[in-house]
């Protein structure tokens, strides 16, 4: 079990790091000159911050919580139900970032659907902080990046969050959280 979890975490970290680097690439280096804005020298209107967490969907929240706390010795939070998101969450503090363990609250939860396809659970999304979520949403919509909700919602940390469609983000579900 430990080697498999280590591989999952290594893949998640590599995926998040690669995505972070792709998202931090200046627009002018990834677009053709025909698609540049009228201010090609202008900097970004919003900035990415640090990786806040990697979210893992789990079929048994207490078992997963016990693994990180009792086997790996991590600092682990108590479960927190978030009915507005259809999940219960547990945060595993890793010092430089966190892991968010997600478990469905009811059969309508998006995590319930994820676990139907992935019985053992697995990486669900990465969360990256932004300095201005409202400006980020407007900018991403202009860039034709699909946002999975009409507006930001309050997330597990009590801050506004939005999710970006994985089809527009290299196959990764990306959550942006107001720093």
The whole domain housing 56 covers 48-178
| Residue 121 φ/ψ region, left for φ over 0, alpha for ψ in the -120 to 50 degree band, beta for the rest | left
Residue 20 has a pLDDT of 43
Predicted TM-score (pTM) above 0.95: no
Per residue in 103-123, pLDDT tens? Answer: 999 999 999 999 999 999 999
Residue 34 in domain: no
Contacts of 108 (CB under 8 A, 6+ apart): 86
Give the pairing type, strands 122-130 and 80-82.
Answer: unpaired
Residue 22 has a pLDDT of 43
Residue 108 in domain: yes
CATH number of the CATH domain containing 96:
3.10.180.10
**Is 118:145 a contact under the CB 8 Å cutoff?**
no
Domain count, the chain: 1
**Whole-angstrom distance, CA of residue 103 vs CA of residue 105:** 7
Residue 97 in domain: yes
Residue 113 in domain: yes
Residue 70 in domain: yes
Residue 153 in domain: yes
Residue 167 has a pLDDT of 97
Residue 42 in domain: no
Residue 41 in domain: no
Per residue in 132-143, pLDDT tens? Answer: 999 999 999 999
């Amino acid at each position: 079990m430990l080697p498999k979890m280590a591989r999952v975490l290594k893949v998640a970290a590599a995926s998040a790091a690669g995505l972070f680097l792709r998202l931090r690439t200046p627009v002018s280096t990834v677009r053709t000159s025909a698609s540049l804005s009228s201010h090609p020298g202008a900097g970004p209107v919003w900035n990415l911050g640090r990786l806040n967490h990697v979210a893992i969907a789990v079929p048994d929240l207490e078992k997963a919580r016990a693994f990180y706390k009792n086997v790996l010795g991590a600092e682990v939070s108590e479960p927190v139900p978030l009915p507005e998101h259809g999940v219960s969450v547990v945060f595993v503090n890793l010092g430089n970032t966190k892991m968010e363990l997600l478990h469905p609250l009811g059969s309508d939860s998006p995590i319930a659907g994820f676990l139907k396809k992935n019985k053992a659970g697995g990486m669900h999304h990465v969360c990256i902080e932004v300095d201005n979520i409202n400006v980020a949403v407007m900018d991403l919509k202009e860039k034709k990046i699909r946002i999975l909700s009409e507006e930001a919602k309050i997330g597990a940390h009590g801050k506004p969050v939005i999710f970006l469609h994985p089809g527009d983000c290299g196959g990764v579900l990306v959550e942006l959280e107001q720093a």
